[in-house]
Structure 1
Amino acid sequence: MIKVLVTGATGFVGRAITAEVQRRGHEVVAASRSGQAVAGAPGVKLDVTNAESTRRVFQDVQPDAVVHLVGIIQERGDQTFQRVHVDGTRNVLAATPRGARFIHMSALGAGEIPGSRYSVTKGEAEGLVERSGLAWTVFRPSLIFGVGDDFFGRVLKQLVSTGPVVPQIGDGGFPFRPVSVEDVAAAFAQALERPQTAGRAYALTGPEQFTFRQLLDLELSALGRKKPVVPVPLPLMDVAVPLMNLLPFAPITRDQYAMLKAGNTAPNDEAKAAFDLPMLCLQDRLPAIVRGRE
């Protein structure tokens, strides 16, 4: 048994990983800004953007391994991509005991999507991890699905539910390979126990690839609705998205738009070879996801 400190433990993915690591017999400390306990694991308050606070928490916990999940998909106030993804990761790395295992949550396309500060800062954080001198493993998941997820359970649901027609961005051909939260949790937990995965970065994607249009159709089907899908030309979206971002709560941010156009897919052969993954299918989970419960 090892002691594992999970940052961002109260989030959608953090809860799943905390539960899975405990299920495998390890001791978990759930770190978050709220300090809430998660799945029976004791909670501790942690703001990764505060270097001194981070150092004190790690000194108190003395973890054998760290699972670093903290990230944001939209900037709000002082919670910027730079502060959370880059400065936060730097602070966590500096506080981590030198002999500890370090498992890092990145994202598919990190550092590769022009116009996306999310992608750029995720890439910068990866670089910090890889130069840290720790025994690290990096995971780059695609869209993560499961009950309580933000994309399929909220963003896409709102998109297909609001209004008499469903807007389709461009030709709808952007490719995606969503992965279940169960697969993600299994990979993170198993990496803690498999030293041969240190020094490696793995794409985490599901068993099937879909176009954006296919995702819209699947979401409509799961909701039991039929609506016309109307393409919105990219030149029009290029003008509309910056205007929408002037609103307090934009339906799509500049970063999300840039990442959507880039698609989000990669082969999963290396991850499947390294870990025992359930490879759950999106179609099987969508009805529960749109209901918001199992």
Structure 2
Amino acid sequence: MKVAVIGGTGFVGLYVTRQLLAEGHMPRLLVRPGSETKIENPSACEIVHGEVGDKVALEQCLTGADAVIYLIGILREFPARGITFEALQYQGVVDTIAAAKATGVSRFLLMTANGVRAEGTPYQRTKYQAEIALKGSGLNWTIFRPSVIFGDPQGRMEFCSQLKKDIIDSPLPAPLFYAGMLPLKAGEFELAPVSVTDVAKAFVLALSESRTQSQTYGLCGPQRLSWKAILGVIAAASGKTKMMLPAPATAIQAAASLLDRYAWFPISRDQLQMLMEGNVCPENDSFARLGLTPTHFGVDQLDYL
């Protein structure tokens, strides 16, 4: 099967492309200028050069494909550089849907995120709007909503390596964020880290399983872990012990309101809000529905740190 991959040079895209090749599929990657070196096995893939905003390049990428996978997502936007949630997480999906219809590609797999909703942050809202657009497109769709994703980033941005860099390697104590005035539940909000390899397997399995059509899967790992516990695992995997202290979210949000426009500031107001909402699946049965066994999150899985 020939599969057009939009976002194939990113973190998840690397593993999806690798899994496609392992299963005997032919990936065709839309590659923006300057990202050619991010392709792991370029001789085994078809390459179309262009940006997601280039409708001609999108149609070229999808022409003759049997399916399309859309993986583009960003954690922060920088409008001055043309990097926005609206452009990359919503309009890019809308344009890819139009290209699919124009080229006769009926199968569309989309990655959004666990917790997306209509009235959420701009990140959550644009992901949700992309889902609505796909569901109303008339195409054969499948949507995957991963929690926080971990795995060897191989030079890309990834949850655990980013926390190691910004928090564990910092000389400052690790922040245990809490809402309100009293630190009674500091760092107790829960996440369900999911392996990038498992996410890639889910995508590629869906290509050949008709039962996955018109289905939405929340992809969460098998454990619900507190922020404090996750920081402890990352520290241990890094060969370190780390002091942790309660940190009021209001103070961090105040600082972010002044500084999160700059890429060097480690977290935005919206990221902190979403983090403290937690990120677990209410019904964590998607991997069982897919016939896959998810990977546990622990020191042994973080040797890349």
Query: Residue type matched to 1:155 in 2?
Result: L
- Correspondence for 1:161: 169
Summarize deviations over 1:232-285 as a string: whole Å, max 9, x none: 112222322212325452110122112111111105644223323241122044
Q: Please tell me whether residue 126 in structure 1 is matched to residue 150 in structure 2.
A: no
Summarize deviations over 1:74-123 as a string: whole Å, max 9, x none: 21311210011111101100001445211101101112663x21111111
CA distance in 2, matches of 1:252, 1:285: 27
User: What is the aligned-residue RMSD (CA, Å)?
Assistant: 1.9
- Correspondence for 2:148: 143
TM-score (norm 1): 0.91
- Correspondence for 1:277: 292
Summarize deviations over 1:14-42 as a string: whole Å, max 9, x none: 01111111211112112221463443323
TM-score (norm 2): 0.87
- Correspondence for 1:104: 110
Give 3-state SS (helix, strand or coil) of 2:304's partner.
helix
- Correspondence for 1:78: 82
Q: CA deviation at 1:156?
A: 4.1
Q: Residue 246 and residue 24 in structure 1: after superposition, are their counterparts in 2 closer, same or farther (change >3 A)? A: closer
CA distance in 2, matches of 1:17, 1:276: 18
Q: Residue 172 and residue 195 in structure 1: after superposition, are their counterparts in 2 closer, same or farther (change >3 A)? A: same
- Correspondence for 1:29: 28
CA distance in 2, matches of 1:123, 1:262: 17
Structure 2 gap ranges (5+): 179-185
Q: Residue 113 and residue 179 in structure 1: after superposition, are their counterparts in 2 closer, same or farther (change >3 A)? A: farther
CA distance in 2, matches of 1:244, 1:173: 26
- Correspondence for 2:182: none
Query: Residue type matched to 1:93 in 2?
Result: I
Q: Please tell me whether residue 6 in structure 1 is matched to residue 5 in structure 2.
A: yes
- Correspondence for 2:68: 66
Contact 1:164 1:227 in 2 (8 A): no
CA distance in 2, matches of 1:81, 1:106: 12
CA distance in 2, matches of 1:210, 1:30: 35
1:179 to 194, 201, 220: 194
CA distance in 2, matches of 1:50, 1:235: 40
Contact 2:48 2:57 in 1 (8 A): no
Q: Please give the residue correspondences for 1:232-251 in structure 2 after superposition, counting only pairs within 5 Å.
A: 232-251=247-266
Deviates more, 1:220-229 or 1:127-136: 220-229
CA distance in 2, matches of 1:152, 1:143: 9
Alignment: residue pair count? 286
Percent identity of equivalent pairs: 31
Q: Residue 196 and residue 57 in structure 1: after superposition, are their counterparts in 2 closer, same or farther (change >3 A)? A: same
